Structures are given as C-alpha cells and as structure tokens.
C-alpha cells in the first residue's frame, strides 16, 4: 500500500505530537504560591550605592565669619570668589597662591564696574563646587566676561571642632569648551594654625577603587547582569575619581557622598550602550568603606567631626589687602571721635570695610575708649591737629605743636605711632611739610558733607564717581555721613571696590609729601 502524501506545510505525524503535548500539559499542576516572596534584587555592594547628588551645602556655613573676597577683571578674563580667615596665615597663603596662579602670565590692572554690577556678593558660593564646569564659566556670579578665561569659586563644606573645610575650584576655558577644571579642598585648623590638603586623606588606591565601585553600580543601573570584575581604570579615568575625592561630603553619621564628574567610561558600560556618562554621578559610601580608604591624617580629623564648631576669629581692618590685585578705595573720616563714631565702627565691621580716621586732639579728651576701639578694629588713625587751625598761617612751631601734639596723644592711647596727618581745610605748603616731616593726606573726592546735603547726595557724591586708588573725604561728626556709610560701602563693593585703610592702599609705604590718591 502506498503512503499518503502530506498536505502542504504540515509534517507527517504532527497531529500526534500536538495531542501528546496537550496531554503532558494537562498532567502538570501549578506550583503553590509562597506568600510574601519577591524576586531577589541586587544587594548593595560593599557599602556603596548610587545616590542623588549631595553637593549643596548649607548657606549658613558662609556666615561663620570668613573674610569674603571677590575679584573681577574683564580685561584679563578673570573672576575669583574666595575666603580668608583672620589669623590663619598658612590657609590664606595657600588660597592666595591659587588665585594668583592664573594671573602669572597676564598684565593685570584692577578694574571698577558700573553701579548695579552685583559685586558686593562676595566669598564662597554654596553649591558651586558641584556645578557643571560650563556653568561655572558662564554664570555671571562666578564666570569671567564673555564666559572666556578663568573662573575661581569656592564652597565651605565643613565646620566642626576647630576645623573648617573649604573647596577651591578653578575652571578655565570658554562656554561649551572647558580646558581645565581643578578642585582642591583645604582643611584649616584655626586653633593650631595648620592646613591640610584633602588629597592627604586618601590612600593611593582609593581613587581607583572609587571608580571601580561606581562603574559596578552604573553597570547594574544600565541592566547588566554580569558580576565579572571591572577592568582596571585608565589614568584618565582614575583622575576623575581623584577629583571627586577632593570634594567629599561627609555626614555626622560617618557616611559620605562622592560625586564623580561627567566622562566615566569603561568597556563594561560601552557593552551596555553607555559610551560615557554625560552628567555627574554620585555614590554614597558607608563609614567602614570610607575608613578603609582614608589615611591616619583623615582619622585624626574625624575625631573632631561631632564636636561643635569653635568659631572663627573676627575680621579686622588691618588684615592684608593687596591693592595691586584688588580694586581699592580709601574712605576717610575727619574731626572725630564724636557721638556717631561707635555706630560707624559697627557699620564698617558688618561690611568688612577698612577706613581711616583723622582725629582732633580736642575731641579725643573724654573719648579715649572710642580711640581704642578704632585702633582695636584695625582702622588707621591720623592726626588732624589739636584745634583745627589753618597750618599755613600759624608758623612752623605751632604747626608742630598742633600736628605732633595730636599724634602723640593718639599714640599714648593706642600704643601705635601715628605716621601721617591731614591738614585742616587741606591747607598745606612746603613750609608746613618741612615743619611736620610726615605725609600730608588730602583727598581726590570731597563729599562736602559739612554742607548737609542729605544721605542720597552723599551716596551720589562718592559711590558712582570713585575710581581705583581714590581717597574719599567724609566727617564722622555728621550724622548723615555715618547713617549713609552702610549704603556707601555696599555701593562701592557692588562696583567691585574693596574699601581699605590708607596703609593698605599704599602697600604699607605711604609716599612723602602731599598725597591725594594712589
């Protein structure tokens, strides 16, 4: 008997296979459900997990008493925000070197800007250490003119015990093209006077381990199921992790957030379709893992972490200011001390603004406490004679008695010599200069406040017309001059000026003869 041909598309015996399959399925029963069971997930690997970025620090850390500084120079393509600490010489020296380094090959002349430039906002900027580098260059709060050149910013990241931590960041390039991005975190011990670079807190293999563990977490996030070891990082990739270790945000519970910049790349990630990261990547590390990465220097610092912050020394007007770098102006006050001088000192302290007081001997009697307070705050004091005569009309003996007598009176109260004077009415000639033998300080801007023009006029006569190196004349015996001081200082700082003492204006060497400006 001949075999029957199979129909198109159907194999011989197919009905029998289907019947058998159905029979087998019918004989299978569904396994019982296990109550509360869920599929296993990835466990955190050795105390590391991906985390949200944690680079913003409390703005309150900026208000601990730092000396707030800012320099903008459009001709040089440069802007720097930074802080200093009264009495912390080593910390200030390290920061000063960082802000000067980009200027080494540039011709630099301090600049002032129009009112409304916003430059009174000074010191560190919360969050800026963690910004995208392009934002540091392009944001007017930090970047150079036209987003081309060098931007230096800082962020206060820690304050505990006698320790403060400040991250300094220097970004160079143009908008969309960053050529360099360098972070350095300095921990200053304000009690011991020492400063330690955060790089000293990490063992040599810490950066590569941070990178490897970060790539493991990214591989899992991208859907990779492999647990094969990650290939070692290149030097370039290790450098990304080292940069992250310069800005670690530790918490009181011992954990920390470590944020790596964009650009993480590895063969494992490329195999999952991720050539390199385009945004910052943060991981959270547990305390035990951190301890394994850290050196003994870090452990010594950690012993203070849960101790309340001891505070910073107060700002003082005598602290160094380099007027070849900063845009300086000297604000001076004549005829005191008077009933408003103490209020003026409070204003100057709040503004971190230095000033020079030319005092009259007849007003010092009964006000020696004010003289001491002016000196204690670091402001300059000059002689304004005993009784305010026109020195060109009284002869050399009377000149000396008036000027030197007042200078000796001030020195006897403060313990510091008085090295310059201001002639009443600005009246001075060669005979007076020869008789006194000290520099005669005049002014380049006279507000004529003695005419009583009102606060608004005093501001207009000083703030918008000032130029770098000017000497401005006020009197602290006039109420409006003192009540306007807050707006005057804020207005000058808004334009980029740093109000300084005469000693600072001239770098400690006031020239001889008649002086009207720097």
Q: For residue 157, is pLDDT > 60?
A: yes
Q: Are 172 and 225 part of one and the same domain? A: no
- Domain encompassing residue 413: 327-515
Q: Are 78 and 168 part of one and the same domain? A: yes
Q: Are 419 and 510 in contact (CB under 8 A)?
A: yes
Q: Are 229 and 336 part of one and the same domain? A: no
Q: Is residue 7 part of a domain?
A: no
Q: Are 366 and 495 part of one and the same domain? A: yes
Q: Are 498 and 389 part of one and the same domain? A: yes
Of all residues in the chain, the percent with pLDDT exceeding 90 is 81
Q: Are 109 and 187 part of one and the same domain? A: yes
Q: Which of 42-46, 53-57, 246-250, 311-315 has the highest mean pLDDT?
A: 311-315
Q: Are 334 and 474 part of one and the same domain? A: yes
Q: Are 221 and 252 part of one and the same domain? A: yes
Q: Are 162 and 216 part of one and the same domain? A: no
Domain boundary among 150, 182, 200: 200
Q: Is residue 229 part of a domain?
A: yes
Q: How far is CA 72 from CA 141, 256, 494, in A?
A: 10, 34, 11
| pLDDT tens profile 335-372 | 999 999 999 999 999 999 999 999 999 999 999 999 99
85: confidence class by pLDDT, cuts 50, 70, 90: very high
Q: Are 216 and 194 part of one and the same domain? A: no
Q: Is residue 320 part of a domain?
A: no
Between 255 and 37, name the one with better pLDDT: 255
Domain boundary among 167, 183, 200: 200
CA-nearest of 257, 268, 331 to 485 is 331
Number of domains forming the structure of the chain: 3
| pLDDT tens profile 175-188 | 999 999 999 999 99
Q: How far is CA 148 from CA 4, 72, 140, 171, 181, in A?
A: 87, 13, 12, 10, 14
Domain boundary among 200, 222, 254: 200
CATH number at residue 174: 3.30.565.40
CATH number at residue 488: 3.20.20.370
CA-nearest of 371, 378, 363, 265 to 315 is 378
Q: Which residues are catalytic?
A: 334, 475
Q: Are 345 and 454 part of one and the same domain? A: yes
pLDDT of residue 46: 62
Q: Are 277 and 390 part of one and the same domain? A: no
């Amino acid at each position: 008997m001949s075999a029957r041909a199979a129909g198109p598309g159907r194999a011989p015996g197919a009905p029998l296979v289907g019947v058998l399959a159905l029979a087998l399925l019918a004989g299978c029963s569904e396994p019982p459900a296990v109550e509360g069971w869920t599929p296993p997930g990835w466990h955190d690997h050795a105390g590391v997990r991906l985390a949200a970025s944690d680079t913003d620090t409390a703005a309150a850390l900026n208000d601990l008493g730092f000396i707030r500084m800012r320099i903008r120079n459009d001709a040089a393509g440069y802007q720097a925000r930074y802080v200093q600490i009264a009495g912390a010489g080593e910390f200030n020296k390290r920061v000063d070197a960082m802000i000067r380094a980009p200027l080494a090959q540039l011709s630099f002349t301090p600049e002032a800007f129009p009112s409304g430039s916003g430059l009174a906002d000074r010191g560190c900027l919360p969050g800026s250490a963690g910004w995208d580098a392009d934002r540091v260059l392009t944001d007017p709060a930090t970047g150079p003119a036209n987003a081309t050149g060098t931007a230096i910013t800082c962020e206060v990241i820690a304050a505990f015990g006698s320790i403060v931590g400040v991250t300094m960041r220097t970004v160079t390039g143009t908008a969309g093209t960053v050529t360099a991005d360098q972070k350095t975190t300095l921990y200053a011990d304000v009690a011991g006077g020492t400063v330690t670079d955060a790089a000293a807190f990490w063992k040599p293999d810490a950066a590569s381990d941070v990178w490897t563990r970060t790539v493991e977490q990214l591989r899992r996030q991208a859907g990779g199921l492999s647990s094969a070891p990650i290939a070692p990082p290149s030097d370039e990739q290790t450098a990304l992790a080292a940069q992250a270790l310069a800005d670690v945000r530790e918490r009181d519970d011992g954990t920390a957030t470590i944020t790596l910049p964009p650009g993480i790349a590895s063969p494992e990630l490329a195999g999952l379709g991720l050539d390199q990261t385009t945004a910052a990547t943060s991981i959270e590390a547990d305390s035990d893992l951190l301890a394994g990465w850290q050196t003994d220097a870090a452990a010594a610092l950690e012993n203070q972490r849960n101790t309340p912050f001891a505070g910073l020394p107060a700002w003082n007007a005598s602290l160094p200011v380099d007027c070849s770098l900063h845009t300086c102006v000297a604000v001076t006050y004549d005829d005191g001390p008077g009933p408003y001088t103490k209020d003026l000192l409070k204003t100057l302290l709040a503004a971190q603004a230095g000033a020079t007081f030319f005092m009259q001997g007849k007003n010092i009697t009964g006000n020696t406490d004010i003289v001491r307070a002016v000196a204690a705050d670091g402001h300059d004091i000059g002689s304004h004679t005993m009784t305010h005569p026109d020195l060109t009309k009284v002869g050399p003996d009377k000149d000396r008695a008036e000027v030197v007598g007042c200078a000796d009176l001030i020195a006897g109260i403060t313990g510091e010599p008085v090295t310059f004077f201001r002639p009443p009415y600005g009246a001075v000639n060669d005979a007076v200069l020869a008789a006194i033998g000290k520099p005669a300080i005049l002014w380049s801007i006279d507000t004529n406040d003695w005419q009583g023009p009102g606060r608004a006029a005093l501001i207009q006569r000083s703030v918008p017309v000032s130029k770098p190196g000017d000497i401005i004349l006020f009197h602290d015996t006039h109420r409006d001059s003192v009540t306007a001081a807050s707006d005057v200082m804020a207005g000058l700082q808004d334009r980029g000026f740093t109000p300084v003492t005469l000693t600072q204006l001239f770098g400690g060497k006031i020239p001889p003869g008649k002086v009207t400006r720097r």
